[in-house]
């Protein structure tokens, strides 16, 4: 406990000099300034000549990086020398020490922020970031994310405006990457929070100095898409030439832009160029995932064409294996593609990471375990290896190892959004109380244009939180960004249907069909229109869905419903519903399976298939399925 400062009593004088005598002897006549308490350092300065000795302050553990505190300590010493009043000095020293202790708590919270995130203690983190005196831009941006995640958007916007002021005070040096990243961080936050006026202001101020940077053009494209100015966004994208881009991150950016503009050919060329420059760049995999969720068939057609034209490009074969990793019928082909890559490029981590995922998904656990152990026993593991280990550990429900590995991955690279995705899945698997909003914002701000993130979070918001409004908010943003992606319109329409917003659902379904005439879009639109009383148009769409895919189980059910409810043809109604019933498997939801079974048993109870006759004059109503 700190001794009270009693002024000039002889007892205090003796005690003070005795302590300093011991200090001097212990340190060979040189006081240990670094370890002195604030009280001792002030006493030392008071006993010695302040003008000669104030320079010890920067070496002290309490005063390091605390210039104001150092001057304050000197002021206290001078105040005592002039007034002889120790009480005021004592009170201020106590306040000062409390501030130091608080600073230590703040630094501890920030340095261990991932642990607080895992525990869901965002209030402590927000308080810590508010109290942070380091002037770190990264910490300031993190505060904005956390405020937004608890829906405190007004304060988040206030902090963003403060950040904007700080960034604008710094004169841009052309090669100052930190400054550029701060500008892009501001843009991403304003764009995601839909503050388009501020985003435009930043774009206008930085266009002259950054206008040739692909990462700047990406933000400009996003701005115009959010403003629903598709033509200008397309014009900017069309002006970018892949041949002129050499920076790997810029090439990756171009690949993702090509995906949202439905140019899979350019995206594949860009990813091949990335791997030719950086054979282990794991970020190519997230772009492939983005393309898979957009249109797997188109991706496979593009990859197959390029692989054939190139005589079997091993880099593209690796990407093809990743694209089809969930297709168990292609497991052996995928493994062969990876093995060819490993022959051409031996001793690389990326093919091992992809192969581990494929072996795990196909339940080839013995081979997967061997590969896992090989990665686990590597020396000097990189963030992507820890990520792969975490993902595998999660898949076998080894949550402790998964958590340990993913924390190490994030500590090595906190800019890789997929590590946060694994962390979130670990916490969800353990039914942890967590802030899903934080993970969505964190991941989107690391990869704003990646709509695959939006799709995954829509499932989490609807299934885990039953929060349809948040899912709609996410999808509305994604729909504006990915202007040619029909599935995003369909997903939004389905949530509108759940909320009985039928007219909005109808509009989105027509938009989806205009982009891609999928059977499921026609089926859903048809059932919706029948429910809205637009029976004739609804039936036309149901029949269109069946004509596109007559073997689809839900289309068969709806064909049966049409013949039962409209045509009153019991024979054809039963034939279609029976085919749907016999085709049921685990891929269909419990609700879909329930309706199909009920429909089948309704008709089976009144229809004699052998004679083709009905035992009832009245045909029961058969339910449609979206």
Give the residue extent of every domain in the chain: 10-105, 550-626
More confident residue, 576 or 101: 576
Model pLDDT, residue 106: 77
Q: Which residues pair with residue 607 across a beta bridge?
A: 614
Model pLDDT, residue 28: 47
CA distance 361 to 222: 35
* CB neighbour class for 477 (10 Å; exposed up to 12, middle 13-18, buried from 19): buried
Model pLDDT, residue 95: 52
Q: How many CB atoms lie within 10 A of CB 478?
A: 25
Model pLDDT, residue 177: 86
**pLDDT tier for residue 65 given thresholds of 50, 70 and 90:** very low
Q: Which residues pair with residue 613 across a beta bridge?
A: 608
Model pLDDT, residue 464: 84
Both tokens assigned to 113: 């922020």
Q: Which residues pair with residue 614 across a beta bridge?
A: 607
What's the Cα-to-Cα distance from 491 to each of 237, 476, 486, 527, 624, rounded to whole Å?
26, 10, 9, 16, 19
The yes-or-no verdict on residue 361 having pLDDT over 70 is: yes
- Alpha carbons within 13 angstroms on the beta-carbon side of residue 538 total 20
The yes-or-no verdict on residue 8 having pLDDT over 50 is: no
The yes-or-no verdict on residue 84 having pLDDT over 70 is: no
The yes-or-no verdict on residue 3 having pLDDT over 70 is: no
Model pLDDT, residue 75: 55
Express each pLDDT in 183-219 by its tens digit: 999 999 999 999 999 999 999 999 999 999 999 999 9
The yes-or-no verdict on residue 82 having pLDDT over 80 is: no
Model pLDDT, residue 176: 81
Average pLDDT of the segment spanning 483-511:
97
DSSP 3-state of 613? strand
The yes-or-no verdict on residue 33 having pLDDT over 90 is: no
**pLDDT tier for residue 142 given thresholds of 50, 70 and 90:** very high
Both tokens assigned to 270: 């860009």
Task: Identify the residue whose tokens are 């990869």.
Answer: 447
Lowest-confidence pick of 43-47, 272-276, 427-431, 535-539 = 43-47
The yes-or-no verdict on residue 34 having pLDDT over 70 is: no
Task: Identify the residue whose tokens are 């206030």.
Answer: 158
Task: Identify the residue whose tokens are 């899945």.
Answer: 425
**pLDDT tier for residue 32 given thresholds of 50, 70 and 90:** low
| 563, 569 contact by CB (below 8 A) | yes
Please enumerate, as own/partner, the contacts of 193-197 that have beta carbons within 8 Å and a separation of 24 or more. 193/148, 193/153, 193/156, 193/157, 193/160, 194/226, 194/477, 195/157, 195/160, 196/223, 196/226, 196/227
CA distance 240 to 260: 15
Sign of CA dihedral 224, 227, 232, 234: positive
CB burial string 20-42: b at 16+ within 10 A, e below: beebeeeeeeebebeebebbbbb
How big is the CA angle at 165 (ends 160 and 170), to the nearest 5 degrees?
Answer: 125
- Find all residues with CB under 8 Å of 308, minimum gap 6, and list them: none
Express each pLDDT in 39-64 by its tens digit: 555 555 555 544 445 445 445 444 44
Round the CA-based radius of gyration of the chain to a whole number and report it.
32
What's the Cα-to-Cα distance from 590 to each of 267, 574, 596, 598, rounded to whole Å?
38, 21, 10, 12
Output the average pLDDT for the chain: 88
The yes-or-no verdict on residue 407 having pLDDT over 60 is: yes
Closest by Cα among 559, 564, 563, 566 to 542: 559
Model pLDDT, residue 5: 38
Closest by Cα among 198, 199, 193 to 218: 199
- For 613, phi then psi, to 5°, come to -120, 160
Average pLDDT of the segment spanning 149-155:
95
More confident residue, 133 or 325: 325
Model pLDDT, residue 169: 84
Both tokens assigned to 36: 């002195």
**pLDDT tier for residue 440 given thresholds of 50, 70 and 90:** very high
Average pLDDT of the segment spanning 86-95:
52
Model pLDDT, residue 463: 87
Model pLDDT, residue 170: 75
CA distance 263 to 250: 17
Model pLDDT, residue 134: 73
Q: What is the pTM of this model?
A: 0.82
The yes-or-no verdict on residue 294 having pLDDT over 90 is: yes
Model pLDDT, residue 19: 55
| 358, 341 contact by CB (below 8 A) | no
């Amino acid at each position: 406990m700190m001794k009270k400062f009693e002024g000039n009593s002889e007892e205090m004088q003796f005690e003070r000099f005795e302590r300093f005598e011991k200090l001097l002897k212990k340190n060979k006549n040189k006081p240990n300034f670094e370890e002195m308490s604030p009280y001792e350092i002030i006493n030392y300065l008071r006993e010695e000549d302040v003008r000669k000795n104030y320079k010890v302050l920067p070496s002290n553990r309490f005063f390091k990086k605390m210039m104001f505190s150092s001057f304050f300590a000197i002021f206290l010493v001078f105040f005592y020398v002039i007034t002889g009043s120790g009480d005021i000095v004592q009170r201020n020293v106590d306040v000062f020490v409390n501030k130091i202790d608080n600073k230590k708590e703040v630094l501890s919270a920030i340095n261990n922020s991932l642990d607080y995130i895992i525990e869901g203690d965002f209030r402590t983190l927000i308080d810590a970031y508010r109290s942070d005196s380091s002037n770190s831009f990264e910490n300031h941006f993190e505060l904005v994310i956390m405020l937004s995640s608890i829906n405190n958007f007004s304060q988040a916007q206030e902090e963003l405006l403060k950040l904007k002021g700080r960034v604008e005070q710094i004169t841009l040096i052309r090669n100052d990457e930190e400054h550029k990243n701060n500008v892009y961080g501001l843009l991403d936050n304003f764009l995601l929070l839909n503050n388009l006026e501020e985003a435009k202001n930043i774009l206008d101020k930085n266009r002259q100095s950054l206008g040739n940077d692909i990462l700047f053009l990406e933000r400009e494209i996003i701005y115009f898409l959010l403003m629903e100015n598709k033509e200008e966004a397309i014009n900017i994208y069309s002006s970018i030439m892949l041949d002129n881009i050499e920076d790997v991150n810029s090439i990756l950016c171009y690949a993702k832009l090509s995906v949202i503009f439905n140019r899979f050919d350019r995206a594949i060329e860009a990813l091949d160029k990335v791997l030719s420059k950086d054979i282990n760049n794991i970020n190519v995999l997230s772009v492939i995932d983005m393309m898979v969720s957009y249109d797997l068939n188109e991706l496979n057609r593009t990859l197959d064409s390029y692989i054939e034209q190139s005589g079997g490009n091993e880099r593209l074969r690796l990407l093809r294996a990743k694209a089809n990793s969930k297709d168990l019928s292609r497991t052996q082909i995928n493994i062969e593609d990876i093995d060819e890559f490993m022959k051409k490029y031996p001793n690389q981590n990326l093919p091992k990471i992809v192969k581990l995922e494929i072996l795990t998904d196909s339940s080839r656990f013995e081979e997967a375990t061997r590969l896992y152990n090989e990665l686990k026993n590597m020396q000097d593991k990189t963030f992507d290896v820890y990520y792969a280990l975490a993902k595998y550990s999660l898949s076998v429900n080894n949550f402790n190892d998964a958590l340990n590995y993913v924390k190490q991955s994030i500590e090595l690279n906190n800019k890789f959004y997929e590590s946060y995705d694994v962390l979130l899945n670990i916490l969800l698997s353990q039914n942890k109380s967590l802030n899903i909003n934080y993970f969505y914002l964190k991941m989107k701000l690391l990869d704003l244009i990646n709509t695959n993130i939006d799709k995954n979070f829509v499932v989490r918001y609807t299934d885990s939180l039953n929060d349809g409004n948040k899912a709609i908010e996410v999808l509305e943003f994604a729909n504006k960004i990915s202007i040619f992606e029909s599935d995003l319109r369909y997903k939004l329409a389905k949530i509108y249907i759940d909320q009985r917003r039928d007219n909005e659902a109808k509009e989105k379904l027509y938009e989806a069909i205009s982009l891609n005439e999928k059977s499921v879009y026609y089926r859903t639109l048809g059932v919706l229109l029948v429910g809205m009383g637009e029976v004739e148009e609804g039936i036309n769409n149901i029949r269109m869905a069946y004509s596109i895919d007559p073997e689809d189980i839900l289309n068969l059910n709806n064909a049966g419903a049409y013949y039962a409810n409209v045509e009153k043809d019991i024979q054809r109604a039963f034939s279609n519903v029976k085919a749907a019933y016999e085709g049921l498997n685990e891929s269909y939801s419990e609700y879909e399976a329930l309706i199909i079974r009920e429909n089948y048993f309704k008709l089976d109870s009144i229809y004699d298939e052998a004679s083709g006759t009905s035992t009832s004059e009245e045909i029961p109503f058969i339910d449609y399925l979206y």
